[in-house]
Amino acid sequence: MDVREKIVRRTALELKDGEVVNLGFGMPVGVANYIAPEKAIIFQTENGALMFGPTPVLGKEDPDVANAASQPITLLPGASIFDIATSFAIIRGGHVDATVLGALEVDQNGNIANWAIPFAEGKYLPGMGGAMDLVGGAKRVIAILQHCDKKGQSKILHACTLPITGKGVVDTIITELAVFRVTDKGLMLEEMADDMTVEALKAVTEADFIVPDGNPKHYQVV
């Protein structure tokens, strides 16, 4: 199991039966492939679909229906396809229970930066999409990302350095190493990978985080 698959598998466990859940661009779209059969999750994509399922078998895809990453999806019974204005009315109207968003950076105060990709000194490739609407409209924001960048630097920070998508909006942070909750008391460690210790996790995490009494739970995947 590679790092990205581990993250999306763990994220699937966060979703609750009956929730309307938006899956953002990138890694989040993979979450739809790992939902337990007993959970009736109503997935929504910002480009205009409601109630879709996992990636279809090769040859069974419909080129007219896709997720936020333009990848094919399966439509479940009762599914609906609509224009983007209707899609954002759902998001802005507060009808999305949770959104799963990829992130470039998150910080210990629940801030997220996920749309301005740096490509040169002081220059960014914009890719905002619906992220700012989602962090404002969804009841719960789950940020998923690899724990460190390609240089080994933490992406879980004291404070985001990239342009902010939303301030204080993140509820949960999931990486391949840990699961954190953003609380009034600070960033709380909830789960940790089996091969990690608290000391090792602190060494690769810039943000300050609280370790609850006793050992954190082992990282779960489906």
Catalytic center residues: 46
Please state, in angstroms and rounded to a whole number, the distance separating the CA atoms of residues 204 and 186. Answer: 18
Contact, 161 vs 188, CB < 8 A? no
The pair of structure tokens assigned to 140 is 């719960």
What are the strands, taking DSSP E only, across 49-171? 49-52, 75-81, 98-102, 105-107, 112-113, 116-120, 123-126, 141-144, 156-157
- The DSSP code for 166 is B
| Residue 217 β-bridge partners | 191
Q: What is the largest CA-CA distance in the chain?
A: 51
Under a CB-based contact definition with an 8 Å cutoff, are residues 143 and 174 in contact? yes
